[in-house]
Amino acid sequence: MKKILITGISGYIAPYLSKALLLTGEASIMGVYNSNKPNITGIDLIKCDLANNDELKQIFNEVKPDIVYHLASVTPTRITTQKEDYINYFNAEVTGNIAKLCSNINALMIYTSTDLVYKAGSDLREDTSPLDPLTIYAQTKLEGEKKVKEFAREYLILRTSLVYGFTLSSYTSFFDVAYKSLSEGKELRAFTDQFRNALYAEDAADILVKLPALYKQNDVINFCGKEYLSRYEMCIGMCETFGQDKKLVNPASCDEFTAYPTIKEIGLSSKKLHEYGLKTGSYTVNLEKAKKYLPK
């Protein structure tokens, strides 16, 4: 039985991933958390500050995982509370430390980066499109990519688009905030001028489960959905599926929400993802699937 280690188990994608892995019945799963212990059954939960390299080494020495999903990062929602040197250390240096430890035990490292590393454009391809990370988050995630390439023996880097779906943890996403506001009859402002290939969390988990068996060589893959959507369009779709009032959704520019530079056009090519035989569902179909996770 394969031993799998997941960092960021109390985050957004990891709880979906653990559920999908448990359904296979083919792995022993360990999830690493720091401050927020998740309510996930069927896996071993390990408390560890990933920024403490001694703690990290101890976990690898004890667990000796075959596959490591490195999903933990300092994300945009948390950056305002963190100093830049810590963001860089966590997103880049910690990633490098994990890559070294994976290499030492011949573990496959699967690292979630971000689509925000690209220069704005359409049909963005992993191997040929120019990179231009504008924010410290994107810059440090790109540095993390470099660390993985430098130190990991076997790896897959996933440039992850905007993820949607109801949270299964303490993490709160744009999707959760929008649903709550609309359900309470409150008006919501949503971007009309930034477009991304949004990825459903359950699709993300399904792909992550399948990737290790498909691994043949080190690679960088766009981790994205098939449709090119603005947050405004996503909110309108939520209203149509969940029976909420579309008039509550007000169009806005992303320039009104952030003090840092924003890429408005991030059209990812999913050609390589499809070459692996991996596909994602449509936004409308996935919203229907998401009904089973509706907050109570």
pLDDT digits (tens, 9 = 90+) for 13-29: 999 999 999 999 988 99
Q: Are residues 53 and 96 in the same domain?
A: yes
The per-residue pLDDT for 261 is: 77
Q: How confident is the model at residue 268, as a pLDDT?
A: 98
Contact by Cβ (8 Å): 165, 200? yes
What one-character DSSP code corresponds to residue 165?
Answer: S
Percent of the chain with pLDDT over 70: 97
Q: Are residues 182 and 87 in the same domain?
A: no
- Residues 139, 189, single domain; the answer is no
Q: Which domain CATH number covers 137?
A: 3.40.50.720
Question: Does one domain contain both 112 and 181?
Answer: no
Per-residue model confidence (pLDDT) at position 81: 64
Q: Which domain holds residue 212?
A: 2-164+199-224+268-275
Number of structural domains found in the chain: 2
pLDDT of the residue at 80: 62
Q: What is the pLDDT of residue 82?
A: 67
pLDDT of residue 79: 58
Assess whether 58 and 191 both reside in one domain: no
What does each of the 296 residues of the chain score in pLDDT, given as a tens digit? 899 999 999 999 999 999 999 999 988 999 999 988 999 999 999 999 999 999 999 999 999 999 999 999 998 655 566 688 899 999 999 999 999 999 999 999 999 999 999 999 999 999 999 999 999 999 999 999 999 999 999 999 999 999 999 999 988 999 999 999 999 999 999 999 999 999 999 999 999 999 999 999 999 999 999 999 999 999 999 999 999 999 999 999 988 877 677 899 999 999 999 999 999 999 999 999 999 999 98
Do 109 and 249 reside in the same domain of the chain?
Answer: no
What span, in angstroms and rounded, lies between the C-alpha atoms of 99 and 258?
32
